[in-house]
Amino acid sequence: MTRPAPRSDWTVPALRLGIVAFALTNGIIGYLLFRGYWARGGVDWVEGAAGIAMFLGLTWLAWGAGVGLLGLFTLGRRPAIEPPPATGRTAVLVPIYNEDPASTFARVAAMCTGLDRLGVADRFDIAILSDTTSDAIALEEAGWFAQLARHAEDGCRVFYRRREINHGRKAGNIEDFITRSGAAYDYAVILDADSLVAAETLVAMAARMEASPDVGLIQTVPQIVSGHSLFGRIVQFSANYYSAAFAAGTAMLQGAEGPYWGHNAIVRMRAFAESCGLPVLSGKPPFGGAILSHDYVEAALLARMGWRVELHPDLGGSFEEGPENLVEFAKRDRRWCQGNLQYLRLLIAPRLRLWSRVVFAQGIMSYMASPLWFAFLALAAIAADRASGTFWLRPSNTGPALLLTAQVIALLLLPRLLILLRGAFDGTNRLYGGTGRVLVSVVCEVVFTTALAPIMLMVQCRAIWQILTGRDGGWPSTQRGTSQLDSVTAWRAVGWIVAFAAAATIVVIVSMPEAVAWLSPVLVPMLLSPFLVQWSSGPRGPKWLFQTPQERSMPHVDQDRHRVLDSWRMIDKAEAAS
């Protein structure tokens, strides 16, 4: 593993100005093209509101595309020399909350095995920090921890504790450990229950932290593994194949005020303890109470105190699991949405760096983009109906409409296509089965995500509506590994989308039949949403489709995890039989 070469001081501000200019330019061009839709002079308030919504949505779309394009041009730069191993002590923290203890503790055992193999187990302790609220699951945790302790008795030290009251949720769980035991360690690697990090990566993270005394946090880019359903494997392929470019772009853009995603990262214990005490927001949830999306806030607090927060995309060996169906994805997304909208109260917090505020705005916009596109579609349809003209494409105005459509498609597809082309030349595609297979996977991924986009738009719009009307989504536990959904579950989850789409279709057919063709790519997936949700939750397609390097050659740490888990379950069955 190698470390990226340092950037000059003027690079990051220049890149930030470039991305802002690229995004705004695309938004302005799109707005001018939108104005070109309307043949008559002047713009009434409906058309104006539609144009503003489109401008903001397109600017956000261009921002994301710009980050990906930036990353493409920065990949493969000459790396710096990896520093020597650290001499300080590192705590590996594994917060859990009503998880499957066998799977979670097997990941810990696999990391212990790797550290023992490298001969560095004496410098790493692993602490499992339970916030489990179920007494039955807590009893299982105690049993599986005994199994883990026997596995690790000759190697790295493992600890387990369960909080009686899970105040502050995950952030409070970490804070509790740091308050009680943080002084014994120089660094802390913070994981999630589904995180799996190779021992070589843990050693490299600690070494880089020790070699850079001004760095408070180093974030890795977790790669998704263990996807089984069609939904899970598409998420896994997309995250792994595209992430290198987008992560490189993010690292270049954010510089020393980089992102923190809450897991698979290492922090300097002293810096984190002194800087990252989180406030409890005044008022009741959803806008008050504990900060749910605490990771970006902690990164901002570190930067405020002068610590560098860096993203190191070159650090491999960092893994996590993804959701296996859209229902689980939406449940997690609802929590993130509420947490990100809390940033509205933090944008004007004192002494924050400017770019930290920009990151908060990005977090807000990542969810507000959905209602903006929804508003654009609704207002444009109303404006077209009021004008008594052909919806969207007027016979005398096809040029601007086609150009705007091409602009949206280019922003969505251009980064993907350039990543595909680069992979064909630099050999990356061979890791995914070859350029031919990658091309088919990319095309299928685009078709699938395009079909799911209207469904996710509605899911996020409902989440924002719930939050704005005072409904607290809380912190639901994650059902990891769940996959196949039955039709009843699918209908309960998205049946309301079908009802909305059916009503909207009737209104469009009756009042503006010329709009049916243009709105069908949005309405048809909504009408089919229960089928799409259920169908994508099961295994579909050939094994080579959406294949990733980790499937073609399983990482050693994942092999250790499977080996440990299989042996434990055999022991458990034998004990149950006796």
Give the model confidence (pLDDT) of 291-322 as tens digits. 999 999 999 999 999 999 999 999 999 999 99
Q: What is the CATH number of the domain that holds 137?
A: 3.90.550.10
Residue 328 has pLDDT above 50, yes or no: yes
The reply to whether 350 falls in a domain is no
User: According to the model, what pLDDT value does residue 39 have?
Assistant: 52
Please report, as a single letter, which amino acid is at residue 525: P
Give the mean pLDDT of 132-150: 92
DSSP letters spanning 456-502: HHHHHHHHHHHHHTT-----PPP-TT--PPPHHHHHHHHHHHHHHHH
Place of tokens 């180093």: 218
- Helix axis angle, 135-151 relative to 101-118, nearest 10°? 20
User: Do 118 and 186 lie in a common domain?
Assistant: yes
Tokens representing 322 are 């993804």
Cβ neighbours for 387, distance < 8 A, ≥ 6 positions apart? 38, 40
The reply to whether 509 falls in a domain is yes
Q: Which of 160-164, 552-556, 574-578 has the lowest mean pLDDT?
A: 574-578
The reply to whether 69 falls in a domain is yes
Give the mean pLDDT of 477-503: 88
User: Do 466 and 523 lie in a common domain?
Assistant: yes
Chain-centroid distance, C-alpha 55: 25
User: According to the model, what pLDDT value does residue 79 have?
Assistant: 62
Tokens representing 407 are 């602009």
The reply to whether 1 falls in a domain is no
Closest CA to 209 of 74, 356, 91, 355: 91
For the chain, the residue count is 578
Give the mean pLDDT of 175-185: 95
User: According to the model, what pLDDT value does residue 390 have?
Assistant: 46
Query: Which pLDDT band holds residue 387 (cuts at 50, 70, 90)?
Result: low
User: Do 479 and 387 lie in a common domain?
Assistant: yes
Residue 329 has pLDDT above 70, yes or no: yes
User: Do 440 and 464 lie in a common domain?
Assistant: yes
How much is the mean pLDDT over the chain? Answer: 90
User: According to the model, what pLDDT value does residue 308 have?
Assistant: 96
Closest CA to 521 of 369, 440, 390, 408: 408
CB atoms within 10 A of CB 571: 12
Query: Which pLDDT band holds residue 578 (cuts at 50, 70, 90)?
Result: low
Asked if 343 contacts 296 with a C-beta cutoff of 8 angstroms, the reply is yes
Please report, as a single letter, which amino acid is at residue 106: A
Closest CA to 131 of 90, 168, 157: 168
- Helix axis angle, 45-74 relative to 398-426, nearest 10°? 20
Q: Tell me which H or E stretch contains 85.
A: none
User: According to the model, what pLDDT value does residue 393 have?
Assistant: 41
The reply to whether 351 falls in a domain is no
Rounded-to-integer distance, Cα 304 and Cα 345, Å: 17
Query: Which pLDDT band holds residue 482 (cuts at 50, 70, 90)?
Result: low
User: According to the model, what pLDDT value does residue 81 have?
Assistant: 76
Share of the chain above pLDDT 70, in %: 92
Tokens representing 534 are 């259920």
User: According to the model, what pLDDT value does residue 2 have?
Assistant: 44
Question: pLDDT (tens digit, 9 = 90+) per residue, 231-275?
Answer: 999 999 999 999 999 999 999 999 999 999 999 999 999 999 999
Q: 307: helix, coil or strand?
A: coil
User: Do 152 and 100 lie in a common domain?
Assistant: yes
User: According to the model, what pLDDT value does residue 442 have?
Assistant: 97
CB atoms within 10 A of CB 569: 12
- Give the single-character DSSP code of 8: P
Question: pLDDT (tens digit, 9 = 90+) per residue, 420-461?
Answer: 999 999 999 999 999 999 999 999 999 999 999 999 999 999
Domain count, the chain: 2
Place of tokens 């082309």: 421
Give the mean pLDDT of 404-413: 92
User: According to the model, what pLDDT value does residue 9 have?
Assistant: 60
Query: Which pLDDT band holds residue 218 (cuts at 50, 70, 90)?
Result: very high
User: Do 185 and 254 lie in a common domain?
Assistant: yes
User: According to the model, what pLDDT value does residue 385 have?
Assistant: 61
Tokens representing 477 are 């536990």
Give the mean pLDDT of 375-401: 65
Q: Tell me which H or E stretch contains 318.
A: strand 318-321
Give the mean pLDDT of 175-196: 96
User: Do 23 and 46 lie in a common domain?
Assistant: yes
Please report, as a single letter, which amino acid is at residue 241: Y
User: According to the model, what pLDDT value does residue 518 have?
Assistant: 78
Query: Which pLDDT band holds residue 139 (cuts at 50, 70, 90)?
Result: very high
User: Do 427 and 528 lie in a common domain?
Assistant: yes
User: Do 72 and 221 lie in a common domain?
Assistant: no
Closest CA to 500 of 539, 536, 454, 469: 454
Question: pLDDT (tens digit, 9 = 90+) per residue, 15-31?
Answer: 999 999 999 999 999 98
Query: 123 is in which domain, residue-wise?
Result: 90-225+243-280+294-321
The reply to whether 498 falls in a domain is yes
Tokens representing 225 are 């593994």
Give the mean pLDDT of 218-236: 95
User: According to the model, what pLDDT value does residue 82 have?
Assistant: 83
Chain-centroid distance, C-alpha 65: 16
User: Do 262 and 400 lie in a common domain?
Assistant: no
Give the mean pLDDT of 126-131: 96
Rounded-to-integer distance, Cα 247 and Cα 265, Å: 14
Rounded-to-integer distance, Cα 522 and Cα 210, Å: 51
The reply to whether 231 falls in a domain is no
Share of the chain above pLDDT 90, in %: 76
Q: Which of 48-62, 157-171, 380-394, 533-547 has the lowest mean pLDDT?
A: 380-394
Q: 265: helix, coil or strand?
A: strand
Give the mean pLDDT of 328-345: 94
User: Do 152 and 42 lie in a common domain?
Assistant: no
Place of tokens 């680069």: 422
Residue 5 has pLDDT above 60, yes or no: no
Cis upstream peptide for 286 (omega within 30°): yes
User: Do 312 and 385 lie in a common domain?
Assistant: no
Give the mean pLDDT of 156-179: 92
The reply to whether 343 falls in a domain is no
What is the signed CA dihedral for 384, 388, 390, 392, rounded to 10 degrees?
A: -10
Residue 358 has pLDDT above 70, yes or no: yes
Query: Which pLDDT band holds residue 4 (cuts at 50, 70, 90)?
Result: very low
Query: Which pLDDT band holds residue 75 (cuts at 50, 70, 90)?
Result: confident
